[in-house]
Amino acid sequence: MLRFANSEAFDISGWKELESLSQNGLSLVGHRFIAIADCPQLVSLETEEERLQLDKIPGVESLEIRDCERLNRLPQILHAFPFITRIKLGNCPGLVCFAKRNFPPALKELEICDCENLQYLVDGNVNNKSMTSNTCLLERLDISSCPSLICINNFTPL
């Protein structure tokens, strides 16, 4: 089922065969509230074209993804989303890393549960020189049932 409550909301649930948003002409650009649930074949949220268009970074404020078993990455430019304050991830066992570089600068709430293969919140294999200078507004961090989590970032082992 695909629903657009208004031009600001993007809500997909129960789309069993969806592998990527771009295969059906869908995009995250222009939406403030994104909710994706029960799309077991979904692998990625972004297209190559969206990755290259940094000037069109979505004005996303809230991102919720659950029950997307094959999802293996979040948008690579997630750290540059200037308005996102809330991210909630659940039952996405394909995720190994939450972010490639830094947390989004306005992020206040991060909830991750049942992501059994999640190893890092920020990828320890990427050169994160800016990680130490990243200003983070995080007020709430809730991580549960992520048994593979070994560190927050390459500077902070658990």
Residue 133's pLDDT band, with cuts at 50, 70 and 90, is very low
**pTM as predicted:** 0.82
Percent of the chain with pLDDT over 90: 42
Strands (E), 38-146: 62-66, 86-90, 97-99, 109-113, 120-122, 140-144
Every domain of the chain and the residues it spans: 2-157
Residue predicted with more confidence, 77 or 56 = 77
pLDDT at 64 over 70: yes
Residue 111, Cβ density class (10 Å: 0-12 exposed, 13-18 middle, ≥19 buried): middle
Residue 128's pLDDT band, with cuts at 50, 70 and 90, is very low
Convert the pLDDT of each residue in 7-48 to its tens digit: 688 899 999 999 888 777 777 777 889 999 999 999 988 765
* Cβ-contact 106, 136 below 8 angstroms: no
List Cα–Cα distances, 46 to 24, 68, 144, 149, 157, in angstroms: 12, 15, 26, 24, 29
Residue predicted with more confidence, 143 or 79 = 143
Q: What are phi and psi of 51, to 5 degrees?
A: -60, -35
